[in-house]
Amino acid sequence: MEKNQPLLPTPLIKKDGIWLKREDKNPSGSVKDRAIVFQLAKAKKRGFKRVAISSSGNAAISLAFWAKKYKLKGTVFVSPHINPLKLERLKKGEVEIRITPRPISECVKFCHQEGALNLRQSKDPQARRGFAQLGKELAKQLKEKRIERVAVFFPVSSGTTLLGTTEELLKEGIKVFPFLVQPASHPPLASLWDNDFFPEKKHLPDALVAKVFPLKEQIIKIIENNQGRGVVVQNKDIIWGDRWLKERGVCVSYEGGLVLGGIKKAREKGWISEKQPVVGLLTGKAYV
């Protein structure tokens, strides 16, 4: 753990042969804390007084949790379609909330006009440093369990978490097979590998909505160089995965059900064997 890193390790637990990395146990309830704490520390060091982010919910909630602790003024830009329960949680933090149909472009404009630092994680190297700490922590946990070869399933929006975590796992000597999982309602990256699905309109994992991918080429390269792939999951299998987790006492967001559905499909297709050690990244708490 780096100096001044305020996050405690999250649990790695095993349920019926599947390892689950509980990133929902971070202080604000999601994996986004990994990046936000690094981004805010750097913003403070660079002399910024204001920071801003466009978000589907979790990164905004993380900023709302941490901004005051770093004595920074935060502004978040969210879509009118944000999960209402996430919006209620967001209102409990100390950030300015701006609801707009164009959160990304409005955030860029705001930062330019107000001299604020844009914390968009796919554009900020500090975010990858934060997610690298997740990789370092997970590598240590795996080595303690004598696991040196593992398939890791990531629910992916922009792919920054996958990239930063996988890079560090490799540096730590773990042979990792990275699997990028997205729902059939929005699989712009996963469908590059998996075309065995039918498009759906209902979008269950509300955190996975990215439409622009600044890190696309790097993500493709690290997956293909390490024998991973993308997996597209139907809603029925997301619901199955969510139920599988709940039956085992794990209540998280639909991204968790997506990950379990991805593991199930990968095994059924023969992309991984039943004996292959598997880690599913549970990226956020449930808002119910």
| pTM summary value | 0.95
1 within some domain: no
Same domain, 167 and 247: yes
Residue 174 CA to residue 69 CA, distance in Å, equals: 34
Q: Round the CA-based radius of gyration of the chain to a whole number and report it.
A: 18
| Mean pLDDT computed over 244-269 | 98
Same domain, 42 and 114: yes
| DSSP per-residue codes, 145-174 | TT--EEEEEEE-SSSHHHHHHHHHHHHTT-
User: Count of residues for the chain?
Assistant: 288
Strands (E), 187-233: 229-233
Note the pLDDT of residue 207: 77
Note the pLDDT of residue 183: 97
208, 157 contact by CB (below 8 A) = yes
Q: Which of 69, 67, 59 is nearest to 26 (CA)?
A: 59
The 10s digit of each residue's pLDDT in 123-179 is 899 999 999 999 999 999 999 999 999 999 999 999 999 999 999 999 999 999 999
Note the pLDDT of residue 94: 87
The 10s digit of each residue's pLDDT in 184-204 is 999 999 999 999 999 999 999
What is the count of structural domains for the chain?
2
What percentage of the chain has pLDDT greater than the value 90?
90
pLDDT above 80: residue 229: yes
Which structural domain range is residue 148 located in?
A: 12-30+125-282
5, 37 contact by CB (below 8 A) = yes
271 within some domain: yes
Helix, coil or strand: residue 29: coil
Same domain, 176 and 210: yes
Note the pLDDT of residue 4: 54
Same domain, 110 and 81: yes
The one-character DSSP state at 118 is: E
Q: Three-state SS string across 239-250, please?
A: HHHHHHHHHCCC
Q: For position 64, which CATH number holds?
A: 3.40.50.1100
